[in-house]
Chains A and B, each alone.
Chain A
Amino acid sequence: MASDGGVSCLRRSEMMSVGIGGIDSPPLDVDEVHVLAVDDSLVDRIVIERLLRITSCKVTAVDSGWRALEFLGIDNEKASAELDRLKVDLIITDYCMPGMTGYELLKKIKESSSFRQVPVVIMSSENVITRIDRCLEEGAEDFLLKPVKLADVKRLRNYLTRDVQVSNGNKRKLPEDSPPLTLSHDSSDSSPPPSTLSPDSSDSSSPPLSPVEIFSSPLLSPLDDEDDDVLTSSPESTPSPVRRQKMRSPGLD
């Protein structure tokens, strides 16, 4: 059970572990979608995992942007095109996370030659137009308003199946070659900035930030007028939250 693990992967027996049986096999079945879910909230990770599994996705859930990059191997300086990489078909990330926001993670993924083609979906509890636009402009595939529902995930799954490219160069990583994923949530060993709840003080010269702004990229905050565009934050009173979509894939009707 994923109690407080930094990485909670494929717990149940019906899930195939990444790499097992798929090393020298023919191109993947289009149904074998592997999703990397990133959220600092354990509750949300468990829920999104369940939603994804119900829609027949394999899921790897991590608790921070840093762990996501670590998992993908993006922060690995010695990475090269020859290295087998983990096959990830979709990355779904929370926007507000301490340390590295979902937006920053999105940027890093889009800067990576290996993973920039992987669709990235952002989740947020706040329906902020400027935030949504900024993410879409940076290349996010979709933006989901939390709490995420099965219908949202099914919709993602639908356009993902049509897009899955089984020979996009992202080959499967051999499990024996990879270090065991035993990253714990509270570990003080690995990742650069630890995941804490305190305001990100990595940039010591930045002005004090309000609670909403602390989760935005500190480098962008002075120009951030997103507070002005906050729609009613209570989902129940909002008839249909704005979900901006950008379907960039060719071939879709």
Chain B
Amino acid sequence: MDAHVAQLQMQYRNYILSLYQQGFLDDQFTELKSLQDDGSPDFVAEVLSLFFDDCVKLVGNMARALDQTGTVDFSQVGANVHQLKGSSSSVGAKRVKGLCINFKELCEAKNYEGCVRCLQQVDIEYKTLKAKLQDMFNLEKQIVQAGGIVPQVDIN
């Protein structure tokens, strides 16, 4: 096998492992990957793309709701957090989901400062994940272009 391909594949493996080790992804992401096959080769990318669209929309909603200083509707913020928690859970976005769990409590406590801070963290977190996954997809593309197959990475 081509040494270049082997090197790319090793790089890919290490990268994926690091994403799990650093808590960006959990086993639901593994589950999604297992649903992808030659018939649906872009399934994971498709779902993640929808997830990130969701993030933009929901973060926007939450920012607007929190912007109503003095008359913040925390249940409205909470409803959006609930949605985000759901979709992050469904794609295996572990850190985002974790933040949402905290965020939900902050909404219930009507902790304005806490909510604003948490929203900022959520914003950073989903964007960070998006960049990381983009790098992952780029590596996959490079492997394929170099004539190799994207390896299945065993997390456990």
Contact = CB atoms under 8 A, between A and B. Distances in A.
Interface size range of chain B in the complex = 35 or more
Contacts of B150: none
A174 interface: no
B93 to A, nearest CB: 10
Tell me the dominant secondary structure on chain B's binding face.
helix
Given A1-B46, A46-B46, A46-B50, A197 B83 contact: yes
B143 interface: no
B9 interface: no
Interface residues of A, number: 34
A197 B86 contact: no
A206 B107 CA distance: 20
A211 B89 contact: no
A42 B50 contact: yes
A236 interface: yes
B111 interface: no
A98 to B, nearest CB: 7
Given A41-B90, A43-B47, A150-B34, A211 B104 contact: yes
Nearest 9 Cβ contacts at the A-B interface: A211-B78, A43-B87, A197-B79, A147-B28, A147-B90, A147-B89, A43-B51, A43-B50, A50-B35
Interface of B: 26-28, 31-32, 34-35, 39-40, 43, 46-47, 50-51, 54, 61, 73-76, 78-83, 85-87, 89-92, 101, 104, 107-108
